[in-house]
Structure 1
Amino acid sequence: MAIPGNLLSSTTESMDPNTSGWVALLNCSISSGTGGRNGDGTLKLTSTASGEMRARTVSSYTVVPGQLYQVFADASGATVAERIGIRWLTSAGVEISYTWSLTTASASSSWHRIGAAGTAPTTATRAQVVVSASPVAGGVINYFENVYLGLPVRTLGNLLGFGTESLEIDTSGWAVDTNCALSRTAPAVQWAVDYYLAGGEVLALTASANGNMAARTVERPGVTAGTEYLAYCYLSPPTSGSAAWIELRFYNASNTLVQTTRGALAAPGTGYYQQRVSAIAPSTAVTCGVYVGVDTATTGQILRVEGVVVMVAPAIQTGSILPYADASFEQGVAGWTVVSGVATLARSTPWGAYSYDGAYALTASSATATTSVIRSAKFPIGAGMGGQPFRILLYENVTAGGWTLTRAVRWYDASNVDLGTTASSAATAPTSGWWYLALDVTAPATATQAAVELTLTATSTSSAIRLDRLALWHVLPLTSVTAVDDTASITLTLRELPIDYGLRIYRVTAGGARTLVRGESGLLDGTFAIVSDTMTIEDYEPPLAAPVSYLIELIDPADMSVDSRTSDTVTLTHADANLAWLKDPGYPSRNLLVMVQRGPDWTRPIEQSVNHVKGRRNAVTLSDVRGGLEGDLLVWTRSDVERQSLHALLDPGHTLLWQAAPGMGVDDMYVSVAGASEARTAGPATDEWRAWTLPLTQQDMPVTVGVSGSAGRTWQDVLGDFATWQGVLDAYATWEDVFLDRRIGG
């Protein structure tokens, strides 16, 4: 699997089918090894003699001076530890310097991550990746694969900068809070081959004396009062019994601490465990910080930290009114209480033992075969939601005994008056593994708040049930479509999608013809895996003034069975027959409506050879298949803005979609545009009108082109990468490049 954004070729990255992208640099020979995870191939370095051995990429790659770059790889070496670096070069290929990772703390034959990040020197224009190890004899072997060189890989939406999140540069994003010393180390940690957010270095807190120790982020990113935030990181505690934790703290405008929320790690060992904590920013909060630490540490104990993130908390289910803490139980039972009965509530333990979302679940236990009622805190359902349909969703796992379960929503009005419940019938809770249960309810007319309420009847003594990923949300149509005439596009919204299922979407015309719809990675043909329960697809290629609907197919990856949905029918309006659309399927922001001066006079070329046979009247003609339509489209641009926009549309030379008004005798057509001409009209020199001749050649619909953009990219992500606006201006040529994160020289 190619690493997104990698400057290296797939062969150089994965060593498949060979190691042609690499060459020995110092004291070693290279060859192809096996047993890799990013394909079977590996780069095998064998030392010639005692001392450091190095190999580098054959090619060098263009870099921008002053820009931060990251390099990482997976390594395996049973005898000696290794490191990785960036070799900076001038335009003439002269070596300037290296940016090296730390050497792995110990040798390990298991695949483990090595990595570093550094800023390109002012005189650097090229860079190479170098891998290194220092054996004490000849014949020592180290393996490498899954190599990346490119811009820093960071968590989209993280309010913290790359250096604070990843520790690949230094420890400057962190400061001592209590009783510890900070450093970096490079443990031999095996991360998933396609988990690119983990680097080689981690933050190490070493206790200076017996007692509590803690460190904090130097950055204090801004927050919005009333918004829920999620912080998480990987923690490797000194012992399985260590009281390690992560805290999310909020500060007011005077930098005074106003709220602290802790997520304590229930570690099953001393590995790396992702611990989460969430909280709603209080009314006076303007910034936040992340703290990590260990309570009652002993002198010299070390807490290791990796992958620190703070972000706006994602919804467990789009539109759910339950906060993350009350739905996922990563830091405790949140607002859940036992209303009646003998049941007890607790967060499951240890980390990872029971969970559907995150690493923990809510555990309800009953020592006797009796009935208990548990209830969440109450939350606003939104203005005007009285009388509207809602849906409960929960995941349950019976781990001891048996249970009868009743699901309900308890409603309240604006004065907190209890309006009673809307409940399901009692039913036996399914056993063996995780099951999801749903219930549709209708809010009373005066309801403004709601709480989820569960009646649990244990059918035997010592029963236990785990609950996770709870949600309560206003039910909207599973599929909705909206015509956007201004952009000649249709917005398709899909809700309550199953995560990890394949997605295939057809655009269906009135005659029943089906055409695959384009997504971010190309046509949505079933190979796209769903990553969110709600998706919005903007289709910029539907016909004008013709009814269309959409067929949505959801493909279960387990057995490839297909569930289908069908949308309503919608029609785009196209009022002026003198205007036509020129669209770039991959970059719809460049689409342009132009005035047509004259349509093409079409020709259809054909490759033929004519053979005159001696003594025969008629020639013998051998023909290839007749080609598609070719002709000149004449259009006007009516302003400087339109003229500049048409230049921007034509500049990349992409295949375009030409859509004329219905009834003009021209079908929608994908075309390439040859040498275009721009001429002035007969008006005065100040006239902004221009006459264009666009030589068109019919093309097939591009199937691999995706709708370009950076899904989820916000100004906060730009802020996380650049300290100043000048840095942004230096890194990007246009604002479109900012949006797409397409940097100069990247």
Structure 2
Amino acid sequence: MAIPGNFLSAAAESMDPTYSGWRVRLNCTLLSGTGGRNGPKCLTVRSVSAGETQAETVSGYPILAGQTYQVFADTASATEVERIGLEWLAFNGTPVAPVLWSLPTAAASASWHRVGVAGVAPAGANRVRIVLSSTASAGAVSHLWENVYLGTPFRTVGNLFSFNTETPEIDASAWTAGANTTCARQAPIGIWAVDWYWAGAHVLALTATGAGTASVTTVESPAVTPGTEYLAYLYLSPPTTGSSAWVELRFYDGAAVQLSATRSTLAPASTGYQRQRVSAVAPAGAVTCRLAAGIDSATAGQVMRIEQAVVKAMPALQAGSVVPYADASFEQGIAGWAKTAGVATIARSTPWGSVALDGAYALTVTSSMATASTIRSARFPLPAGAGGLGFRMQFAESVAAGGWTVTRGIRWYDAANVDLGLTATSGGAAPAPGWWLLSTDQTAPAGATQAAVELTLTATATSSVINLDNVALWQALPLLTTVVQEASASVTVTLRELTVGDVISVYRVTPDGARTLVRGPSGLLDGTVAVTSDLMIIEDAEAPLLVPVYYRVETVSSGGAVTTRISGTVTVPHADINLVWLRDPGSPQRNMRVMVKAPPNWQRPVERGVYRVAGRRNSVVHSDVLGGLEGDLVIWTRDDDERKALHSLLDPGHVLLWQAAPGMGVDDMYVSVGQPTESRVGGPATEQWREWTLPLTEQDTPATVGISGSSGRTWQDILTEFATWDALQSVYDTWEDVFLDRRRE
């Protein structure tokens, strides 16, 4: 599988079918090896004699001085440690600085493991070469390499921290040691999945200098918004399974005074890397935040390693849910949950990763007796005007021992915390085995401003255990809504409560029953696209004008179960029949209306051979099928803004959708535009009208063109990566390129 954004070719990355992108640099021969993890092949670097061996890329790859670049690779050797480096080159191939080397790995390993480094290209550098290095004890010693990446740094989307805080591939300067602690980079053997690109080379190691607490804190303190919920996480590798290792999210005011700290303690299942999460709402007055990590009751010399530090605005487990993450996923404890009746005990599951649907923990309910117990969450504020509205409560359960019946309910409260009563289902058996989603729909009583989730769990056998996770409570909205956007002549299709992992098809259906697939970010939503969120918003900018349509949505689960949703009918308006739409299916932000002067006079080209036979009146003709329509569309732009917009639409040379009002004798048509002609229409030099002749050639629907978007990229991601807005000018040509992360070559 090709690594996204890799400067290297697929062959140079995976060594398949051969290692043609690599050459000898020092004391080695190169061979094609087997047993790769990114394809069947790998690169074997075999020493000629004892001493350092080096291989390098044949090419130097274009870069920009002052920008940060990352390299990593997977490697294996039972006898040698290794390192990887970046050699910065001038335009003529001359090195402009010493090779930027990673730290040598801490030990040799015959298992595939990750090495890497990152750095800022120095002044004068406009190309870079990758260098692979190891030191052999004798001749004919082999070292294996593959899955090599070179490019801009991999960062977690939405992370408020910069790259060097997220992962110490450059240095350890983004962290500061607390009392009783030193911190530095290390390169231990990191065995990560072949397609996990966000961690695994250098890690940050904090070492206790004496007995007691050892901790580190980020130097960087990104801005936060009071009242917003944030999620933070780190990979922690504790020194022992008995270690009290933790991560802490801290909020500060404008004077850098700490306002709050929320800690989440790891229940380690091993001394390997385990992601520990913590969440909290930024308190009133909060301006910035920091992340801290540490171990309590450490002994002198103990080392804890950390990797991939992330803080970001909390993504909802369920769109619209009022349940905070701490109460929904139990990553840092039982949060606001309590037992209100019965003998059961409640606790966060342990150890890390033993049972969970989201994250690494669940709420474990244990009953020593076959009897009923009631557990209740904290109170959560509801949207304004909640009284009389329908709400849906949902949670996941997994029976671990014995048996259970479950009564699902919501307890309502007013603004003065007065209990307005419980609305609940009747009891039902908890299904098993595995994880199951249970839900209930209830109506909020008049005056309700808060709600709590309340579950009555009845054990049907002694020593029964049930795990709960992914608790959500949200206003129950329609599963499928459609809204016409008149300004853009499009339809917004909103899908709610989808199942992540299902595959989805979305059709637009016209009155004659014809179904047309609707476009999504990766192309037509044709049943091959997986659902990645419970909420999906589709902007259908290819809906026909003045034609009633409805939408049919089909989802298929991993088990083959098909679910169908049907929308109401909507019609895209179109007021002026003299105007037509020209649309770029992949970049709807370029779409525009133009005025038609003259429609095309169509031709249909055909390839044929005409053979005139001597002595015969009629020729013998061999003809191919007639081609699609071809003709010249003549349009006007009426001001400079329209003229510039049309240039922007035509510049990429994409297939366009031409739409005219029904009744004009032209069906909606995908077209390729040939060499356009832009002419003045007469009058003074200041006249802004222009006449355009657009040569059109009919095309098939571009099935694989996805709607351009940020894929989750936000302006905060850009501000985190670049110190100033001015710094963008040397990297991007337009603001659209900034948003879509299309960098100059």
Distance 1:274 1:429, change over 3 A: same
* C-alpha contact 1:180 1:207 (8 A) present in aligned 2: yes
C-alpha distance in 1, partners of 2:52/2:23? 15
Letter aligned with residue 250 of structure 2: R
**Given residue 598 of structure 2, which amino acid in structure 1 is its aligned partner?**
R
Q: Which moved more, 1:411-420 or 1:428-437?
A: 428-437
Alignment check: 8 A CA contact 1:637 1:690 kept: yes
Partners of 1:321 and 1:161 lie apart in 2 by 30
The corresponding residue for 2:311 is 310
Q: Matched residue of 2:549: which SS?
A: strand
The CA distance in 2 between the partners of 1:735 and 1:648, in whole Å, is 13
Query: Hey, what's the Cα distance between the residues in 2 that align with 1:694 and 1:598?
Result: 11
* CA distance in structure 2 between the partners assigned to 1:85 and 1:586 by the alignment: 38
SS of match in other structure, 1:30: strand
Q: Which residue of 2 aligns with 1:385?
A: 386
C-alpha contact 2:590 2:648 (8 A) present in aligned 1: yes
Other structure's SS at 1:95 match: coil
> What SS is found at the alignment partner of 1:134?
strand
Give the counterpart letter for 1:721 in structure 2. E
Q: How does 1:32-181 map to 2 (within 5 A)?
A: 32-97=32-97, 98-181=99-182
* Partner residue in 1 for 2:8: 8
**Partner in structure 1 of residue 25 of structure 2:** 25
Taking the aligned partners of 1:388 and 1:30, their CA distance within structure 2 comes to 70
Deviation string, structure 1 residues 485-532 (Cα, Å, up to 9, x no partner) = 211211111111111111221222111112221111122222221111
Number of the residue aligned with 1:687: 687
Give the CA deviation at 1:26.
2.1
1:230-629 matches, within 5 Å, as: 230-557=231-558, 559-629=559-629
User: CA offset at residue 691 of structure 1?
Assistant: 0.8
RMSD over aligned Cα, in angstroms?
1.3
Partner of 2:649: 649
2:36 counterpart letter in structure 1 = G
**Stretch of structure 1 that moved more, 721-730 or 316-325:** 721-730
C-alpha distance in structure 1 between counterparts of 2:24 and 2:570, whole Å: 61
Relative to structure 2, which stretch is displaced further, 261-270 or 62-71? 62-71
Structure 2 residue matching 1:486: 3-state secondary structure: coil
With over 3 angstroms needed to count, the CA separation of the structure-2 counterparts of 1:522 and 1:128, relative to structure 1, is farther
- Find the aligned partners of 2:130 and 2:671 in 1 and give their Cα distance: 41
- Match of 1:87, SS state, is strand
2:710 corresponds to: 710
- Residue of structure 1 in register with 2:192 after alignment: 191
Please identify, of 46-55 and 469-478, the stretch whose mean Cα deviation from structure 2 is larger.
Answer: 46-55
Q: 2:214 aligns to what SS in structure 1? A: strand
| Unpaired segments ≥5 residues, structure 2 | none
Cα distance in 2 for residues equivalent to 1:525 and 1:73: 35
Equivalent residue letter for 2:503: G
Comparing 115-124 with 639-648, greater Cα deviation is found at 115-124
Letter in 2 for 1:662: P
Q: Distance in 2 between matches of 1:728 and 1:265?
A: 40
Tell whether the 8 Å contact from 1:412 to 1:419 is kept in structure 2 after alignment: yes
Q: Deviations over 1:93-146 (max 9, x none)?
A: 223342222221111111111111111222122222222222121221222222
Q: Secondary structure of 2:487's match? A: helix
SS in structure 1 of the partner of residue 493 of structure 2 = strand
| C-alpha contact (below 8 Å) 1:83/1:102 kept by paired residues | yes
SS at match of 1:487: coil
The alpha-carbon deviation at position 56 of structure 1 amounts to 2.3
Aligned partners of 2:651 and 2:50: how far apart in 1? 55
8 A contact 2:81–2:105 mirrored in 1: yes
Which deviates more, 151-160 or 29-38? Answer: 29-38
Q: Using the alignment, how far apart are the partners of 2:56 and 2:293 within structure 1? A: 38
Give runs of aligned pairs for residues 671-682 of structure 1, distance below 5 A.
671-682=671-682
SS in structure 2 of the partner of residue 632 of structure 1: strand
Equivalent AA in structure 2 for residue 706 of structure 1: G
Deviation of residue 699 (structure 1)?
A: 1.2
The one-letter code matched in structure 2 to 1:132 is S
1:635 alignment partner in structure 2: 635
Question: Structure 1 stretch 52-61 or stretch 542-551: which is displaced more?
Answer: 52-61
Contact 2:192 2:200 in 1 (8 A): no
Give 1:369 shift: 2.2
Q: CA deviation at 1:367?
A: 2.1
Q: Which amino acid aligns with 2:450?
A: Q
Q: 8 Å contact 2:191–2:200 — kept in the other structure? A: no
SS of the counterpart of 1:52?
A: strand
Q: Are 2:354 and 2:360, in contact at CA under 8 Å, matched by a contact in 1?
A: yes
Q: How far apart are residue 35 of structure 1 and its match? A: 2.0
Select between 217-226 and 562-571 the one with higher mean Cα deviation. 562-571
Of 8-17 and 277-286, deviating more is 8-17
Moved more, 304-313 or 650-659: 650-659
Q: Deviations over 1:222-259 (max 9, x none)?
A: 11111111110100001111111000011112211111
- Against the structure 1 CA distance between its residues 508 and 26, is the aligned structure 2 distance closer, same or farther, given a 3 Å change threshold? farther
Distance 1:550 1:682 in 2: 47
1:176-200 deviation line (CA, Å, top 9, x unaligned): 1221111101111111111111141
**Partner amino acid, structure 1, of 2:182:** A
Deviations along 1:49-107, one digit per CA (max 9) or x if unpaired, are 21222222233322111111111121122121222222222222223342222221111
Task: Indicate how the Cα distance of structure 1 residues 254 and 425 shifts in structure 2: closer, same or farther if over 3 A, else same.
Answer: same
Is this contact kept in 1: 2:190–2:200, CA < 8 A? no
- Rounded Cα–Cα distance in structure 2 between residues aligned with 1:697 and 1:173: 56
Shift in Å at residue 212 of structure 1?
A: 0.4
> CA offset at residue 303 of structure 1?
0.7
CA deviations on 1:533-565 (whole Å, 9 max, x unpaired) are 1010111111111112222121223x3443222
1:570 counterpart SS class:
coil
Number of the residue aligned with 2:743: 743
Q: What is the one-letter code of the residue matched to 2:612?
A: H
CA contact (8 A) 1:72 1:199 kept: no
Counterparts of 2:197 and 2:571, CA distance in 1: 43
Distance 1:585 1:17 in 2: 36
What do the CA deviations read for 1:643-695 (whole angstroms, capped 9, x no partner)? Answer: 11111111111111111121111111111111111111111101111111111
Q: Does the CA-based 8 Å contact 1:11-1:21 persist in structure 2?
A: yes
- Aligned partners of 1:505, 1:33: CA distance in 2, in Å? 45
Deviations 1:449-489 (A, max 9, x none): 10000111222222221111111111111111111121121
Matched to 2:172, the amino acid is T
Q: Residues 379-401 of structure 1, C-alpha deviation per residue, up to 9 Å, x if partnerless?
A: 11110111111111111112122
Corresponding letter in the other structure for 1:347: R
Aligned residue pairs: how many? Answer: 744
CA contact (8 A) 1:365 1:464 kept: yes
- In 1, the alpha carbon distance for the partners of 2:54 and 2:503 equals 43
| Structure 2 Cα separation of the partners of residues 735 and 662 of structure 1 | 36
Q: CA deviation at 1:332?
A: 0.3
- Alignment partners' CA distance in 2, 1:731 and 1:439: 51
> 1: CA distance between counterparts of 2:169 and 2:696?
50
Q: How far apart, in 2, do the equivalents of 1:576 and 1:650 lie?
A: 23
